[in-house]
């Protein structure tokens, strides 16, 4: 037991204590491997009322409650802070437990311990972290979940205009998690289980909850060609025609005009019953709609699927194609020497393989992304579609139809500046999150880790205590 006042004051300074709090005892229990630092305040001290907005800064102490907090280890010994926490009597609000500066209300850890846990949780899985901290993992999870939730609660996303959406499987091909990224700040804004039209709705709601205007603020969305995303963007990230008002317009000749007229009317004279979103278009008659950009990686993945479909069908009569899937799909520079040799053998003209032709169409399609200008790229793709349609390869023709049906969004890639390899980015991210959340089956836990490592959240940082 340390009793030297000078030493106690030194402990207090090391902890960053401010008056009236002071260190009154330091007890080291060697047997139990524990260090307990006792904190107290002098008789007659007064404290601020803990109720938010109350200006009473000198309430008398009514009584106290004994509390202990786990602090950062002192070498290999567990360290604790112990204090009697006053309940003060505010003239206006009555009797309340005060908030202590070294811990958040209700936590059994000091803030410094919590920040240390967050720091480690960004770098390592929770299970070994809990073991290292000699704490039950549910307590570690509670700390991480609290700070991620609290940081997200104050997030302001009103300035986000470029959004990337991607879904990824949480476990081998099923169990999806959808991820929404701010492409400028390169951070995950929102993640949610599943992938369907409601996924975009959930994102729009989250956007609205964080200062955003979902139907008017998003200018570009980068995503794959999944109908659920495309439908969701039209329904939840775009302005909707004011159909109710449109029906009342009798002077309009066409439905489109009716919508335009209705929109203009709303813009000039806001009608409380006229629109559900309350959003007013800047350009009368033009409803806001984000530009959809189909991510290069996803489009090329579809071309690769077409090649593999041709290969699988052909493998039934050409057994040499069996087990050659990756040789056809990998980037040539990523092939092993053996795969390269196999591919050189299979692609010889005398083999006359349909798969070779399909792969060539795929390679030519990739040339679209190498064109120097948007116009050249569009002309290139038109020529490519014209030829590929006549390839007599069913899956390739199917791919051409898909390209034509998603033309604008595929060409829009050429407008540039959107991250490429969005999927690769999110995928490696999710792989990392999966490793961190290893041993836990809940998707909510995985999402918490995704926010922690890729949300760029304003998490608390280390100061004193
Ligand atoms: Zn008060």
Measure 97 CA to ligand 1 centroid, in angstroms: 11
Across all residues in the chain, what is the average pLDDT? 85
Average pLDDT, stretch 419-426? 60
User: How far apart, in whole angstroms, are the C-alpha atoms of residue 422 and residue 164?
Assistant: 7
Tell me the sheet residues that pair with 171: 174
User: How far apart, in whole angstroms, are the C-alpha atoms of residue 127 and residue 136?
Assistant: 9
What the block records as the tokens of 96 is: 């309340």
User: In the structure, how many helices (H) and strands (E) does the chain have?
Assistant: 18, 10
Under 8 Å between Cβ of 40 and 8:
no
Q: How far is CA 82 from CA 62, 69, 85, in A?
A: 19, 6, 9
Half-sphere exposure of 146 (CA within 13 A, CB side): 18
Measure 71 CA to ligand 1 centroid, in angstroms: 30
Under 8 Å between Cβ of 34 and 80:
yes
Domain assignments of the chain as residue spans, ordered by start: 1-102, 296-416
Task: Report the range out of 64-73, 181-190, 269-278 with the highest average pLDDT.
Answer: 64-73
Under 8 Å between Cβ of 356 and 346:
yes
- What length does the chain have? 465
pLDDT tens, 131-160?
Answer: 999 999 999 999 999 999 999 999 999 999
Measure 113 CA to ligand 1 centroid, in angstroms: 29
What the block records as the tokens of 226 is: 């999944």
Measure 105 CA to ligand 1 centroid, in angstroms: 17
User: How far apart, in whole angstroms, are the C-alpha atoms of residue 210 and residue 242?
Assistant: 25
Measure 87 CA to ligand 1 centroid, in angstroms: 12
Measure 49 CA to ligand 1 centroid, in angstroms: 5
Of 53-57, 304-308, 411-415, 438-442, the poorest mean pLDDT is in 438-442
Average pLDDT, stretch 18-38? 91
Measure 307 CA to ligand 1 centroid, in angstroms: 71
Where residue 43 falls (left for φ over 0; alpha for ψ -120 to 50; beta otherwise) is beta
Convert 54-69 into a string of H (helix), E (strand) and C (coil).
CCCCCECEEEEEEEEE
User: How far apart, in whole angstroms, are the C-alpha atoms of residue 237 and residue 230?
Assistant: 10
Average pLDDT, stretch 307-326? 92
Measure 88 CA to ligand 1 centroid, in angstroms: 9
Measure 89 CA to ligand 1 centroid, in angstroms: 8
Measure 44 CA to ligand 1 centroid, in angstroms: 18
Neighbours of 237 (CB within 10 A): 24
Average pLDDT, stretch 261-274? 37
Under 8 Å between Cβ of 432 and 313:
no
Average pLDDT, stretch 393-401? 97
Element at 238 (helix H, strand E)? none
Measure 59 CA to ligand 1 centroid, in angstroms: 8
Measure 43 CA to ligand 1 centroid, in angstroms: 21
User: Residue 141's pLDDT is what?
Assistant: 95
User: How far apart, in whole angstroms, are the C-alpha atoms of residue 190 and residue 83?
Assistant: 40
Q: How far is CA 113 from CA 79, 80, 102, 163, in A?
A: 10, 10, 10, 35
User: How far apart, in whole angstroms, are the C-alpha atoms of residue 388 and residue 410?
Assistant: 17
Model-wide pTM > 0.95: no
User: Residue 170's pLDDT is what?
Assistant: 63
Measure 111 CA to ligand 1 centroid, in angstroms: 24
Element at 144 (helix H, strand E)? helix 137-153
What the block records as the tokens of 450 is: 């995704």
Per DSSP bridges, beta strands 34-40 and 22-29 are: antiparallel
User: Residue 421's pLDDT is what?
Assistant: 58
User: How far apart, in whole angstroms, are the C-alpha atoms of residue 19 and residue 28?
Assistant: 24
Of 17-31, 69-83, 177-191, 433-447, the poorest mean pLDDT is in 433-447
User: Residue 417's pLDDT is what?
Assistant: 56
pLDDT at residue 207 greater than cutoff 60? yes
Measure 58 CA to ligand 1 centroid, in angstroms: 10
Element at 367 (helix H, strand E)? none
Q: How far is CA 76 from CA 33, 35, 123, 315, in A?
A: 8, 10, 21, 62
Farthest CA pair distance, the chain: 98
Comparing C-alpha atoms, which of 42, 44, 55 is closest to residue 91?
Answer: 55
SS3 437: coil
pLDDT tens, 188-205?
Answer: 999 998 777 789 999 999
Measure 414 CA to ligand 1 centroid, in angstroms: 60
User: Residue 422's pLDDT is what?
Assistant: 61
User: Residue 265's pLDDT is what?
Assistant: 36
Measure 387 CA to ligand 1 centroid, in angstroms: 78
pLDDT at residue 263 greater than cutoff 50? no
Measure 48 CA to ligand 1 centroid, in angstroms: 8
């Amino acid at each position: 037991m340390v009793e030297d006042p000078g030493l106690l004051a030194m402990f207090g300074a090391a902890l960053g204590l401010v008056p009236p709090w002071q260190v009154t005892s330091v007890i080291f229990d060697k047997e139990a491997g524990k260090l307990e630092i006792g904190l107290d305040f002098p008789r007659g001290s007064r404290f601020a009322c803990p109720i938010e907005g109350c200006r009473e800064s000198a309430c008398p102490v009514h009584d106290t409650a004994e509390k202990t907090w786990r602090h950062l280890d002192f070498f290999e010994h567990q360290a604790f802070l112990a204090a009697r926490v006053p309940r003060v009597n505010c003239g206006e609000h009555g009797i309340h437990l005060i908030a202590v500066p070294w811990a958040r209300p209700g936590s059994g850890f000091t803030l410094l311990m919590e920040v240390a846990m967050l720091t480690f949780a960004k770098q390592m899985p929770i299970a070994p972290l809990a073991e290292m901290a000699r704490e039950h993992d549910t307590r570690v999870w509670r700390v991480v979940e609290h700070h991620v939730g609290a940081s997200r609660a104050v997030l302001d996303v009103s300035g986000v205009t470029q959004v990337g959406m991607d879904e990824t499987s949480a476990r081998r091909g099923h169990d999806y998690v959808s991820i929404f990224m701010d492409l400028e700040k390169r951070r995950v804004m929102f993640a949610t289980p599943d992938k369907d039209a409601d996924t975009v709705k959930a994102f729009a709601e989250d956007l609205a909850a964080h200062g955003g205007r979902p139907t008017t603020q998003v200018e570009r969305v980068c995503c794959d060609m999944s109908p659920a995303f495309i439908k969701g963007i039209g329904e939840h990230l775009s302005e909707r025609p004011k159909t109710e008002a449109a029906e009342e317009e009798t002077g309009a000749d066409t439905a489109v005009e009716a919508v335009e007229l209705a929109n203009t009317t709303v813009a000039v004279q806001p009608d409380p019953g006229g629109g559900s979103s309350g959003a007013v278009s800047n350009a009368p008659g033009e409803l806001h709609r984000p530009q959809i950009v189909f991510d290069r990686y996803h489009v090329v993945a579809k071309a690769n699927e077409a090649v593999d479909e041709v290969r699988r069908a052909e493998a039934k009569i050409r057994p040499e194609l069996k087990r050659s899937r990756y040789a056809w799909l990998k980037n040539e520079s990523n092939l092993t020497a053996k795969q390269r040799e196999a591919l050189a053998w299979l692609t010889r003209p005398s083999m006359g393989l349909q798969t070779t032709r399909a792969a060539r169409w795929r390679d030519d399609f990739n040339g679209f992304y190498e064109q120097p200008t948007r116009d050249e790229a569009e002309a290139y793709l038109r020529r490519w579609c014209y030829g590929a349609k006549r390839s007599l390869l069913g899956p390739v023709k199917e791919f051409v139809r898909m390209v034509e049906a998603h033309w604008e969004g595929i060409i829009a890639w050429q407008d540039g500046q959107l991250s490429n390899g969005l999927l690769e980015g999110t995928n490696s991210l999710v792989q990392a999150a999966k490793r961190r959340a290893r041993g836990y089956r809940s998707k909510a836990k995985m999402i918490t880790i995704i926010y922690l490592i890729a949300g760029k959240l304003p998490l608390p940082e280390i100061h004193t205590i």
